[in-house]
Structure 1
Amino acid sequence: MPRSNLRTNACVEQGALPSLNKRALNLLEKKTYVDVQFVVGPEDGEGGETKFFEAHKLILAMNSEAFEAMFYGDLAEQGKVRVVDLDPVGFEYFLRYLYSERLDVKTVLEALQTRLAAEKYLVSHLVTLCNEYIGKELSPKNVCKASEDLALFEEDSFDDQIEAIMRENTTDVLESEAFIEATEETVHAILRMNELAVSEDDLMCALYAWACAKYSKTTISATGEGVRTMLEPFLKEIRFMAMTAERFVEGPVAWQIFSSDEALSILSNLTVPKSMKLPAFCSANATPRALP
């Protein structure tokens, strides 16, 4: 088809779209009249995905003084633009926002990746939108994963909100898939909290489920000894003296994660406080952390 016909068809399609933003986004998606290419991702050999994006200098410059200087300043760049400090996922959402004024991210991580691009290219209103999205998106279901993603970006402005969700919605947090997949650092953060909306018995059950899931990734089936190894770094943070004797027998004793002497010592102290010396890992703290 002659080039003139291609341009005519493109113009007809553009004219049929009802808004300027939709027409602009259509140009981006169809790569019509593009005049700049970005190569986004780590340098060769550093791992990670590298992706190519084509866009329009004028539209980018309209939305960002950084792009204005880059393309129309005294030292305007020519040829491909190499971007090694941004993730392709975030850069794509960033570009789409510049054309459509819509933020279409689906996760906290995507919002963080997009915000990084917005910060780099001085699009402050998008930075604000990303922060608002993160604040609204945080929930018991995703707070464990979100807190880890925020830590990767050295972002601490949501710490109070994250702690409140963990404290006030503990059962939902512990029952989430994100908790089962959580890092050791996240589990420690929860166990170190003095107030949680859960009994110590249920907290121990959740920790055991987490340890079994982690251990099962390294072997065919979980054993008491193997799971004990996974639990070892966390035992001092569990308040065994705040558990009930019945739940202790139904849980840790039945799981066979303690030696007979350890189990007897803890159970004896649950029945008669200070009746036996506690194991070295066992805290004497009997204060319930469950919220009233």
Structure 2
Amino acid sequence: MKYMLNNQLMCDVTFHVGTDKTPIKAHTYMLASSSPVFYSMFEGPLAEKGTVEIVDMEPEYFNMILQFIYTDKITVDSNNIRNLLYGSEKYMLQLLTDKCNAFLASNVNVDHACLVLQAAHDFNMEDLKTKVLNFIFINGIEVLDSKDSITLSAECIKLLLSSDKFRCEEEHIYQHMLQWGQHKCNDKSLPVTDENIRECLGDLLYLIRFPVMRPQYFTKEVSCKSLLTATEIVKVYQHFNFKTTDIFPSNKRISKIKIEIGLAKRRKQ
């Protein structure tokens, strides 16, 4: 069957896939026998005949899914996981979904935690999302330094910044959010200015806990920029002088160092 597919022998359906409508041929009986979605596509009163438009997938990943249907074999990796997971759910290919889930569950580590979090969030995998969030909370700095952290959605960033369990210095979080905002500016073809970064951050700005930063750092790295308004800067300085701000959160996140010290004391006792 793989030979028949690869050599386009006796195919009876042609898919026009992706933005450039790449033609890909296959066999309806193979697809219909593996996927209830394909079965409905080719049988019944609204059955597709001859050609089918697939506009929401690129040819590379649609071909991978076809190869899996014909052979039950596939290599899932960090580059294709999101597209394969999307295709597996779209066409109700449970075995492929299981393989994608297994890959994600086995990659809850510093390098891939952000990738796993985004996928778990996008595809409503609540148990996996809880697992990876707990991992990220414990390994905050290392995870933020991973290459995938800059591509997290605003919704996932909010999950991290709103938690007291996120073990990361606020100064480090601020630097990451500047990079995240710069990345968003580039995505939107906006000049990378303080004002545009603020616009891209939106409400996420108010989850950065400026009042818990070291005053010297805030003065040198934050107050001299246009990211905050003059009023907001004054509010933070007032907090440094024991007047609580009502703009930014001022409670400290859980410190990894404090937890380790606490454990050491209990062991001695």
**TM-score category by the smaller chain?**
0.7 to 0.9
Larger mean Cα displacement after TM superposition, 230-239 or 51-60: 51-60
User: Normalising to structure 1: TM-score of the pair?
Assistant: 0.68
Alpha-carbon deviation of 1:79?
4.7
Q: Is the 8 A contact 2:143 2:149 kept in 1?
A: yes
**Other-structure match for 1:91:** 62
Identity percentage of aligned residues: 15
CA distance in 2, matches of 1:248, 1:73: 65
Task: Identify the match of residue 2 of structure 2 among 11, 16, 25.
Answer: 25
> How far off its partner does 1:135 sit?
2.2
| Superposition deviation, residue 170 in structure 1 | 1.8
1:193 corresponds in structure 2 to 163
Partner Cα separation in structure 1 for residue 34 and residue 41 of structure 2 = 11
Any gaps of 5 or more consecutive residues in structure 1? 1-23, 43-47
The 8 Å contact of residues 38 and 82 in structure 1, kept in 2 or not, is answered as: yes
Shift of the 73–288 alpha-carbon distance from structure 1 to 2, 3 Å rule, reads closer
5+ long unaligned stretches in structure 2: 260-269
Counterpart of 1:53 in 2: which secondary structure? Answer: strand
**Match runs of 1:268-287 below 5 Å:** 268-270=238-240, 272-274=241-243, 278=245, 280-283=246-249, 285-287=250-252
Q: State TM-score, norm by structure 2.
A: 0.72
Q: Deviations over 1:14-68 (max 9, x none)?
A: xxxxxxxxxx43332222x3332242558xxxxx45443323456556x637599
Larger Rg: 1
1:51-99 deviation digits (Å, cap 9, x = unpaired):
43323456556x6375997799999x79526365863554322221133
CA contact (8 A) 1:112 1:150 kept: no
Residues 148-157 or 167-176, more deviating: 148-157
Choose which of 88, 100, 105 in structure 2 pairs with 1:115. 88
Aligned residue in 1 for 2:11: 35
Structure 2: distance between partners of 1:264 and 1:252: 12
Task: Write out aligned runs for 1:155-174 (5 A).
Answer: 155-174=125-144
2:167 and 2:253 in contact (8 A); partners too? no
For 1:74 and 1:226, the matched residues in 2 are separated by 52
* Offset of residue 198 of structure 1: 1.0
Q: In 2, Cα distance between the equivalents of 1:190 and 1:73?
A: 46
- Work out whether 1:288 is the aligned partner of 2:253: yes
Q: Which 10-residue stretch deviates more, 254-263 or 242-251?
A: 254-263
